[in-house]
Amino acid sequence: MRVEQIAVFLENKSGRLAEITSILAENNINIRALSVADTADFGILRLIVDKVDEAEKALKGKGFTVGKTTVIAVEVPDRTGGLAAVLDCIQKIGLNVEYMYAFVNKTGENAVLIFRFDDMTRAIDSLQEHGFTILESSQVYNL
Amino acid sequence: MWDTNEQMAADDLARLQLDRLQTMVGRVATHVPFYRNKFKEDKFDVASLAALDDIRRLPFTSKQDLRNNYPYGMFAVPLRDVVRIHSSSGTTGMATVVGYTQNDIDTWSNLIARILTAAGVSTHDVIQIAFGYGLFTGGFGLHYGAEKLGASVIPISSGNTRRQIQIMQDFKTTALVCTPSYALKIADVMMDQGINPNGLSLKFGLFGAEPWSEKMRQEISERLGILATDNYGLSEVMGPGVAGECQHCNGLHVNEDHFFMEILDPATLEPVDPGQVGELVITTLTKEAFPVVRYRTRDLTRLLPEPCPCGRTFRRIERITGRTDDMLIIKGVNVFPTQIESILFDIEGTQPHYNLIIEREHNEDKVTVLIEVVESIFFDEMKKQRTMVDHIKKRLASELGVGVHVKLVEERSLERFNGKGARVIDKREL
């Protein structure tokens, strides 16, 4: 149920993101989804890739500070109101979202929402109870 | 002149110094285990101290020795005879604690009265003391001396510049005591408020507790329209009042009847030639509660051997021109980069890589600590990441006693240096 995500510390300097993506490319690692959170001074890059451990090793080897966390991926139909339904449910259950980002999978039929909750176990249970599809990690890595 | 000692003939002074030195060394040998053991180790016989030159056979005292004896190990009197305790800035365990008997406070007050008099201040003056009051020796040291002199003392303490200026205007302050950078800050705020310093009653400024330059003196004098003098002291020796300038502004007269000074080559610990720069080493001659033998101040200065036109015979030293160690003085607070290192080590659990950048913006010191991110302080959640930065900032501020900015940078982005001083980038131009 849980998907491994890697986070990379970024100073707000030009070219850093490009450097990370080329390191991943050189190591034949595919990026499935990414998001950047930033402040005036620094940013946090979050990545979901097909080969997590290799990505972590490659980036660390190049001197990046890398952290690994788990997130969950919720699949919703790619149509108006798809995200709203999930968020509405989350709000009703009273889950705290630390952060989220989204992407649309290749077929274009479904959107995938990546969530980090403060209480991940409860989030998984309640979202499933409410009938949402939570993707297995292997499904996400190979999307 | 405040008292007649200030004009002592050289041989009278030497006799007085020797007499006081013998008494003092005898006292520390009896009452301070640290010195007793050192003398024993060095096979130094107190009775053999027959001339001032013999001081060179005495052991040195370092800041570390004082720390090792935290808090009261170096006191030469029982606590019941101590009436005041001060402490140098520094984290617990890094700090040094100093004590004063009533006689020490009286001597200290007298020496401050001397320095104030030398700088032009008299019983007719209204003196605004904008040094911090508290464990720092600056505030209380100047305060008691100014009262002894009979000036009207405004114990305003540091900070709140607008209020300082308001009081300066309303109370008709004639003498200002603070750090030189704070004097410029006051001048800046006056300018912002459209206040003309010439409309104030201010005549004298006595500045100390941090390094400054002749250029800064000129700027302060011109902008505030005052006679700006330098004074020097350190808590380990007494606090302010060890040395101070007269109105000729040509270096600081050392109160040699109470402090024996040596200027030594910090590498060889041999005396430098007169007039050459070296480390100032001070032996207290009269301190009762906290006497120190050959205390290595780590401050660099040189002797100015020419007699001073003011008539004081106490020899002068040049303003402190630097340090032999990596101690920084930021907003008047002593900061050692090693303190920052140990705080970061504590938080990160690993040897931290950091740079310390000090700038002077609008006459105020601004400190930025650049810290390389490591996994233990890195989070994927922005909220946690920012909380961590705040946490680091707060710990540094509370343990250093001075506010800092904290900026996280990528791993391996800071230059790797050998030696501690190189982690510091001091951009202040004094």
For A108, the 3-state DSSP assignment is coil
Peptide bond into B71 cis (omega under 30): yes
Same domain? For B279 and B408 the reply is no
Question: Among A5, A41, A67, whose Cβ lies nearest the Cβ of B379?
Answer: A67
Say yes or no to pLDDT of B90 above 80: no
Say yes or no to pLDDT of B420 above 50: no
In contact, B295 and B61? CB cutoff 8 Å:
yes
Residue environment code for B90-108, b if the CB has 16+ CB neighbours within 10 A, otherwise e: beeebbbbbbbbeebbebb
Q: In terms of Cα–Cα distance, which of B263, B178, B159, B174 is closest to B216?
A: B178
Q: Which residues in chain A have their CB less than 8 angstroms from residue B373's CB?
A: 9, 42, 65
**CA-to-CA distance for A53 and A67, rounded, in angstroms?**
11
Given an 8 Å threshold on Cβ–Cβ distance, is A41 in contact with B374?
Answer: no
Q: How confident is the prediction for chain B on average, in pLDDT? A: 93
Amino acid at B107: T
Q: Among residues B294, B325, B356, which one ends one of the domains?
A: B325
Q: Which residues in chain B have their CB less than 8 angstroms from residue A42's CB?
A: 373, 385, 407-409
Question: Among A10, A13, A44, whose Cβ lies nearest the Cβ of B380?
Answer: A44
Closest approach of chain B CAs to the CA of A105, in angstroms? 24
Report helix angle B102-118 to B137-149, nearest 10.
Answer: 70
**CA-to-CA distance for B304 and A129, rounded, in angstroms?**
86
Given an 8 Å threshold on Cβ–Cβ distance, is A116 in contact with B380?
Answer: yes
Amino acid at A82: G
Question: Among B381, B386, B411, whose Cβ lies nearest the Cβ of A65?
Answer: B411
CA separation (Å) from B166 to B131, B160, B170, B189, B348? Answer: 17, 10, 6, 11, 45
Same domain? For B397 and B251 the reply is no
Quote the tokens at residue B157.
Answer: 């303490």
Given an 8 Å threshold on Cβ–Cβ distance, is A69 in contact with B411?
Answer: no
CA separation (Å) from A71 to B136, B377, B385? Answer: 52, 20, 17
B390 touches chain A (CB under 8 A): no
B408 touches chain A (CB under 8 A): yes
Q: Which residues in chain B have their CB less than 8 angstroms from residue A46's CB?
A: 380
Same domain? For B418 and B301 the reply is no
Ramachandran category for residue B262: left, alpha or beta (phi over 0 → left; psi -120 to 50 → alpha): beta
Say yes or no to pLDDT of B419 above 80: no
Quote the tokens at residue B268.
Answer: 């060889």
pLDDT for the residue B45: 95
DSSP per residue, B55-99: GGGSPPB-HHHHHHTTTTTT-SS-GGG--EEEE-SSSTTT--EEE
Given an 8 Å threshold on Cβ–Cβ distance, is A11 in contact with B413?
Answer: yes
B268: DSSP letter: T
Q: Which residues in chain B have their CB less than 8 angstroms from residue A5's CB?
A: 380
Same domain? For B255 and B302 the reply is yes
**CA-to-CA distance for B49 and A136, rounded, in angstroms?**
86
pLDDT for the residue B243: 98
State the number of CA atoms in the 13 A half-sphere of B276 facing the CB.
9
Closest approach of chain B CAs to the CA of A98, in angstroms? 7
Given an 8 Å threshold on Cβ–Cβ distance, is A44 in contact with B373?
Answer: no
Confidence of residue A134 (pLDDT cuts 50, 70, 90): very high
Q: Say how many CB pairs under 8 Å bridge A and B.
A: 56
Q: Which residues in chain A have their CB less than 8 angstroms from residue B352's CB?
A: none
Q: In terms of Cα–Cα distance, which of B333, B425, B317, B322 is closest to B370?
A: B425
DSSP per residue, B387-410: HHHHHHHHHHHHHHTS--EEEEE-
B350 touches chain A (CB under 8 A): no
Whichever domain contains B87, its CATH number is 3.40.50.12780
Same domain? For B420 and B300 the reply is no
Closest approach of chain A CAs to the CA of B270, in angstroms? 48
Closest approach of chain B CAs to the CA of A67, in angstroms? 6
Same domain? For B153 and B53 the reply is yes
Angle subtended at Cα B125 by Cα B119 and Cα B130, rounded to the nearest 5 degrees: 75
pLDDT tens-digit map of A36-84: 998 888 999 999 999 999 999 999 999 999 999 999 999 998 888 888 8
Length of chain A: 143
Given an 8 Å threshold on Cβ–Cβ distance, is A65 in contact with B410?
Answer: yes
Edge-to-edge strands of the sheet including B405-409?
B405-409, B364-372, B354-361, B424-426
B241: DSSP letter: E
Question: Among A11, A44, A66, whose Cβ lies nearest the Cβ of B382?
Answer: A44
- Please return the burial class of A4, using the count of CB atoms within 10 Å of its CB with bins 0-12, 13-18 and 19+: middle
pLDDT for the residue B421: 47
CA separation (Å) from A89 to B69, B277, B364? Answer: 64, 75, 52
> Helices (H) and strands (E) in chain B — how many of each?
10, 20
pLDDT for the residue B147: 98
Q: Among residues B298, B325, B352, which one ends one of the domains?
A: B325
Length of chain B: 430
pLDDT tens-digit map of B163-180: 999 999 999 999 999 999
Q: Given this structure, which CATH class describes domain A70-141?
A: alpha beta
Same domain? For B338 and B303 the reply is no
**CA-to-CA distance for A84 and A78, rounded, in angstroms?**
11
Which range marks the domain in which residue B136 is found?
1-325
For A37, the 3-state DSSP assignment is strand
Question: In the predicted model, what is the mean pLDDT of residues B100-126?
Answer: 98
Same domain? For B307 and B381 the reply is no
Same domain? For B194 and B232 the reply is yes
pLDDT tens-digit map of A2-32: 999 999 999 988 888 999 999 999 999 999 9
> Which residues of A lie closer than 8 Å to B, measured between beta carbons?
5, 7, 9-11, 13, 16, 37, 39, 41-42, 44, 46, 63-67, 69, 98-99, 116
Q: Which residue of A has its CA nearest to B374?
A: A65
Q: Among residues B301, B325, B349, which one ends one of the domains?
A: B325
Quote the tokens at residue B74.
Answer: 């170096």
**CA-to-CA distance for A9 and B377, rounded, in angstroms?**
10
Choose between B91 and B69: higher pLDDT: B69
Same domain? For B362 and B307 the reply is no
Q: Which residues in chain B have their CB less than 8 angstroms from residue A39's CB?
A: 382, 386
CA separation (Å) from B256 to A18, A92, B55, B182, B200? Answer: 66, 79, 15, 29, 36
Same domain? For B311 and B356 the reply is no
pLDDT tens-digit map of B185-231: 999 999 999 999 999 999 999 999 888 889 899 999 999 999 999 99
Question: Among A41, A69, A99, whose Cβ lies nearest the Cβ of B408?
Answer: A41
Whichever domain contains B409, its CATH number is 3.30.300.30
Q: Which residues in chain B have their CB less than 8 angstroms from residue A65's CB?
A: 373-375, 378, 410-411
Confidence of residue B321 (pLDDT cuts 50, 70, 90): confident
Q: Which residues in chain B have their CB less than 8 angstroms from residue A20's CB?
A: none
Closest approach of chain B CAs to the CA of A21, in angstroms? 17
Q: Which residue of A has its CA nearest to B386?
A: A39
In contact, B254 and B317? CB cutoff 8 Å:
yes
Q: Given this structure, which CATH class describes domain A2-69?
A: alpha beta
Q: Which residues in chain B have their CB less than 8 angstroms from residue A37's CB?
A: 382
How many domains, in total, are found in chain B?
2
B80 touches chain A (CB under 8 A): no
Tokens 């053999």: give the residue: B48
Tokens 């024993």: give the residue: B40
Q: In terms of Cα–Cα distance, which of B338, B347, B353 is closest to B412?
A: B353
In contact, A83 and A110? CB cutoff 8 Å:
no
Question: In the predicted model, what is the mean pLDDT of residues B380-385?
Answer: 93
Residue environment code for A22-45, b if the CB has 16+ CB neighbours within 10 A, otherwise e: ebbeeeebeebbbbebeeeebbbb
Q: In terms of Cα–Cα distance, which of B143, B116, B140 is closest to B128?
A: B143
Question: In the predicted model, what is the mean pLDDT of residues B240-266?
Answer: 97
Alpha carbon B278 to its chain's center: 17
Q: What residue ranges do the domains of chain A occupy?
A: 2-69, 70-141
Given an 8 Å threshold on Cβ–Cβ distance, is B382 in contact with A46?
Answer: no
Same domain? For B316 and B362 the reply is no
